[in-house]
Structure 1
Amino acid sequence: MTEILVQSGIEGAVPSAAGRVVDHPAWPVLKDAVEDIRPWQSADGSIDFEADGAPAKGIAELAVDRVISAVEEISPLLPHDAAYHRALVADLRRWAETGFQVPDFLDSLLAFQPAAHREDGLQHLVVFPMYTQNGNPDRNLEAVVLRMVWPDWLADLERTRYDNPLFCGITFEDFTAGYDTNSAVLFPETIAVREAPERFSWGGIFCDREAARFRRVTEAAVDLLGLELPDDIREMVGDQDRCQQAFVLWDMVHDRTHSHGDLPFDPFMIKQRQPFWMYGLEELRCDLTAFKEAVKLEAEGVPQARDVQYAVLFDRMFRFPVTGDRVKNYDGLGGQLLFAYLHKHDVVRWTDNRLRIDWERAPQVTNQLCGEIEDLYRAGIDRPKLVHWFAAYDLVSSYLAPHPGSRWAKGPDALDTSLPPRKLVDEVLPDEFPLSMFYEALSKKLKHVIASTKGITATSGAEKAAA
């Protein structure tokens, strides 16, 4: 643990001796070529040359040639990605040679193995046809230059306590339009391939975007709500590097938790056809597990641990409930539940138009909610699926008021339980647990701030703050 205490920052990440990829003259050429190709593509990534505005096939081929040439020029800067870049060039050529049909980049996906080289500051040039989660739903060609975040203190925690060999903490260097959005992840599941691999071998989360977004929204919410912060937490919110450290630790433990504990399930839970409060509870369980572990790590003297706790609390309570639309918004639901639980247990109070937090009791009561969700999961092992869903509904509705028109709120007698459970998901209202009056008011005041975080990075956030 001494090693962890000595190592305390992400700022140790430095450009490689070969120089920054984004400073190479081929990078803007590559980026421009990708931006030329993207508008020509259909939702599935193919190019329909009969569509309005489509280029001649030869024009598309020349654009792909520009991408290939740029990748080959940049690749010597990144010898650790040489095999991936060779496969990428082959996939790009095959896509063009087969008439720009639905792209298949499985070979290059399998060759890209960033988790095998988790070295702090290591750069990667990534080009794939993909959708960007919480960003662009279409499988357009995207290019992104990123840098690995893997300081010694984090590597030691992963090796000794939170084994997560697939997790990659990353930051942006530059990107094409699909990432000029709210997307803060790079996941292999989003890439266009002919068939899904047997297993995925990495997953990346951009801690710089998460930190910059968190800081802007939290600063606005604290000001609006008149919340008085302890000095160390105020300093953390004002410090991009500290927030990045908090988020990369939070993300690593959160990501790991999906496959640990009772009833673990796939993070891409939407495929499992469950009511959205089940997704909300799972995401909240993973966040509160990270919170619980951070409480332990703080007691052991890990510098980033206290910051993780307040990053979880503030992001969950201030940003999540009022971000996105109200159609089965499971992240929003988890934030509402956390706030309501802390409010019911008198940890947060909204009086005289000011928010007050009992900082001493916050860790204990937040861990208590984590325990209630864990108890729900543990008991769920012995329940049929539908019974488990109702038990989860009861937990949520103990703290959040359901929509008055909800059939689920009326209990099993209001539903046709002879149907398969997945059919009963259709009876869930788009906004089963509407915003409280507190959050309705907060949403109106924070809406423009949240909108302003689209495409934010550590650099862009600092530039806007200075302006």
Structure 2
Amino acid sequence: MSGTSITYHRPDDMLGEAAVLGRGLLPRIDAFRARQRDDGTVHAPGDQDRRALLAIKDEAARWFAGHGRAAQADALAADVDDWLAAGLDTAPHFARSRDALVAPADGDWAAFLAPVQTTNSVPPVGRRLEFFLVRRKEPDALADLAVRYPHPKNNCQATVLLAGSEGVAKGNCIVFFPENVAAHDKVAEQDYAIFFFSKFRMIHETFAVPSARAVLTAESVPRASTGMGPEVCYQARSIWGYLHDYFHHQGSWPLDQHLKLKMNWFIGLLEELKVDAKTVLACHEGDIPYADEQIAMVLVERMFRYPLDAHAVRNFDAGTGVFLYSWLRERHAITGDGDRLHLSYGRVLDALRELVDTIEEMEAKVTTPAEYRAAAKALVRTQLREGAEGDRYAFTDDQLRLVRARDRLSALPPLRFAPAQM
């Protein structure tokens, strides 16, 4: 690609590029991903599939190179060529593309193309070909916040989604990590973590809030995160994202030093709950912008949206919400046995402090990864009972309250996130 002429674009110009992509490259990608299976392979690939992928490669490589991303263009071309040589009925390996992506500076843009697992998106979900174009937009309060909560290696990017293929532009996927990319090797360290936070408001209002209203009494539903304007919601969600990741890098077993271990299902579940609980407590106790909004977001999303997943008993995020619900029930922070339950804000805070203390005490006692895995599983099993073969847990009758609105909400049409929703 070194001989290709390069035209650089300012970040503000990329919105126009989103429209161009929507007329050309994105429809090609969506058509190809429809041919893929969950593992990224193409069943009984023919010449038409090969030609389609070559056309995508050529158009995308020209686009990347023409926008100053020659390294990504070269990586994409090499990954596609190797996949074609191995056969499209073999699992794709796009490690070059994964490693060529450089996190954008605040205000700059980034784009990516590879087979990617788009978590919580609209089915079919798997390692299918996906593209996104984003503009990084960090919250206005980040500079001051970072003084009080200095992140040792902040590699998270809050972004506005400008354009995306079906798995990104539809559904509830708001995260992209290097480990989501189809590749034969494991990621040792996260060099970037891109969050499509411009999608959050619509997801929260459409699914999380109505689900909470179906379970809780009207007066006890957390309200601060409801009815926010797009920009306010984006700012609040982005600060939550920063604090969440900041707390990942604290304590006895920080995420950046133990990434593979933290991917254990039981350890990871407790890790997510611990850092969100610490975020809630920091918002309650400190001078943090949009504190009430963040607290409501955490509680409503964790307990009332994540368990709605159709495969909740195998879904990691859903498990965090079910665990948290039962933890709060045991500590009388959620009370009642009738049609609606009552959430007590003060007791929630006490219960979250106890949860953080319990997890951190466990982490301080274990000295080996094997001990950590065993202790984490034992703690998780205090709230999540064993499930059927292949399932991580099983719902109790009381926990089934959390999915009361599942059928109604799952019948809604998939959310569509057009370019520049905000």
Fold match (TM-score > 0.5): yes
Measure the CA separation in 1 of the matches of 2:304 and 2:337: 17
Measure the CA separation in 2 of the matches of 1:455 and 1:268: 33
Cα deviation code 1:143-198 (max 9, x no counterpart): 12222231332244346524142111223223223333443221111223464565
CA deviation after TM superposition for structure 1 residue 460, in Å: 11
Partner of 2:219: helix, strand, or coil? coil
Seq. identity, %: 21
Measure the CA separation in 2 of the matches of 1:102 and 1:319: 32
Mapped pair 1:174 → 2:135:
no
Measure the CA separation in 2 of the matches of 1:202 and 1:356: 40
Match 1:393 to one of 368, 378, 400: 378
CA deviation after TM superposition for structure 1 residue 396, in Å: 5.0
- 2:100 maps to amino acid: A
Partner of 1:152: helix, strand, or coil? coil
Match 2:250 to one of 255, 260, 269: 260
**Conserved? CA contact 1:162–1:253, under 8 Å:** no
**Conserved? CA contact 1:26–1:73, under 8 Å:** no
Q: Is the alpha carbon distance of 1:374 and 1:451 closer, same or farther for their aligned partners in structure 2, counting shifts above 3 Å?
A: farther
Mapped pair 1:152 → 2:140:
yes
Cα deviation code 1:192-247 (max 9, x no counterpart): 346456533111122233443222233313433332268xx635311143333333
> How many residue pairs align between the two structures?
404
**Conserved? CA contact 1:21–1:123, under 8 Å:** no
Match 1:119 to one of 106, 112, 121: 106
Q: Which residue of 2 aligns with 1:247?
A: 237
Q: Is the alpha carbon distance of 1:148 and 1:268 closer, same or farther for their aligned partners in structure 2, counting shifts above 3 Å?
A: farther
CA deviation after TM superposition for structure 1 residue 33, in Å: 1.7
Partner of 1:20: helix, strand, or coil? helix
| Structure (1 or 2) with the larger CA radius of gyration | 1
- 1:370 maps to amino acid: V
Measure the CA separation in 1 of the matches of 2:97 and 2:370: 42
**Conserved? CA contact 2:225–2:296, under 8 Å:** no
- 1:29 maps to amino acid: G
Measure the CA separation in 2 of the matches of 1:453 and 1:255: 32
Match 2:218 to one of 218, 227, 238: 227
Q: Which residue of 2 aligns with 1:142?
A: 130
CA deviation after TM superposition for structure 1 residue 113, in Å: 0.6
- 1:291 maps to amino acid: V
Mapped pair 1:72 → 2:59:
no
Partner of 2:24: helix, strand, or coil? helix
Match 1:286 to one of 257, 275, 291: 275
Q: Which residue of 1 aligns with 2:199?
A: 209
Moved more, 453-462 or 63-72: 453-462
- TM-score, structure 1 length as denominator? 0.72
Partner of 2:141: helix, strand, or coil? helix
Mapped pair 1:110 → 2:102:
no
Q: Is the alpha carbon distance of 1:28 and 1:442 closer, same or farther for their aligned partners in structure 2, counting shifts above 3 Å?
A: same
**Conserved? CA contact 1:236–1:307, under 8 Å:** yes
- TM-score, structure 2 length as denominator? 0.79
Measure the CA separation in 1 of the matches of 2:330 and 2:204: 25
**Conserved? CA contact 1:166–1:202, under 8 Å:** yes
Cα deviation code 1:9-42 (max 9, x no counterpart): xxxxxx9332415544344210122123224445
**Conserved? CA contact 1:131–1:190, under 8 Å:** yes
Mapped pair 1:338 → 2:324:
yes
Q: Which residue of 2 aligns with 1:325?
A: 311
- 2:378 maps to amino acid: Y
CA deviation after TM superposition for structure 1 residue 361, in Å: 4.3
Measure the CA separation in 2 of the matches of 1:63 and 1:87: 15
Measure the CA separation in 1 of the matches of 2:390 and 2:25: 45
Measure the CA separation in 2 of the matches of 1:46 and 1:325: 22
Match 1:38 to one of 33, 36, 58: 33
Say what the alpha-carbon RMSD is for the aligned residues: 3.8
Measure the CA separation in 2 of the matches of 1:74 and 1:384: 44
- 1:112 maps to amino acid: L
Q: Which residue of 2 aligns with 1:16?
A: 11
Cα deviation code 1:377-419 (max 9, x no counterpart): 2223389728x7357635752xx4746xx8xxxxxxxxxxxxx
Q: Which residue of 2 aligns with 1:8?
A: none
Q: Is the alpha carbon distance of 1:65 and 1:341 closer, same or farther for their aligned partners in structure 2, counting shifts above 3 Å?
A: closer
CA deviation after TM superposition for structure 1 residue 317, in Å: 2.2
Mapped pair 1:185 → 2:175:
yes
Measure the CA separation in 2 of the matches of 1:257 and 1:453: 35
Q: Which residue of 2 aligns with 1:446?
A: 406
Cα deviation code 1:425-457 (max 9, x no counterpart): xx98836452343x3244233333156485554
Measure the CA separation in 2 of the matches of 1:89 and 1:27: 21
- 1:340 maps to amino acid: S
Structure 1: state its 5+ residue gaps: 1-14, 407-426, 463-467
Partner of 1:109: helix, strand, or coil? helix
Measure the CA separation in 1 of the matches of 2:307 and 2:91: 37
Q: Is the alpha carbon distance of 1:103 and 1:17 closer, same or farther for their aligned partners in structure 2, counting shifts above 3 Å?
A: same
Measure the CA separation in 1 of the matches of 2:392 and 2:179: 27
Measure the CA separation in 1 of the matches of 2:259 and 2:411: 26
Q: Is the alpha carbon distance of 1:106 and 1:66 closer, same or farther for their aligned partners in structure 2, counting shifts above 3 Å?
A: closer
- 2:156 maps to amino acid: F
Match 1:307 to one of 279, 293, 299: 293
**Conserved? CA contact 2:224–2:293, under 8 Å:** no
Q: Is the alpha carbon distance of 1:22 and 1:390 closer, same or farther for their aligned partners in structure 2, counting shifts above 3 Å?
A: same
Q: Is the alpha carbon distance of 1:40 and 1:333 closer, same or farther for their aligned partners in structure 2, counting shifts above 3 Å?
A: closer
Measure the CA separation in 1 of the matches of 2:338 and 2:182: 53
Measure the CA separation in 1 of the matches of 2:102 and 2:300: 34
Structure 2: state its 5+ residue gaps: 1-9
- 1:346 maps to amino acid: H
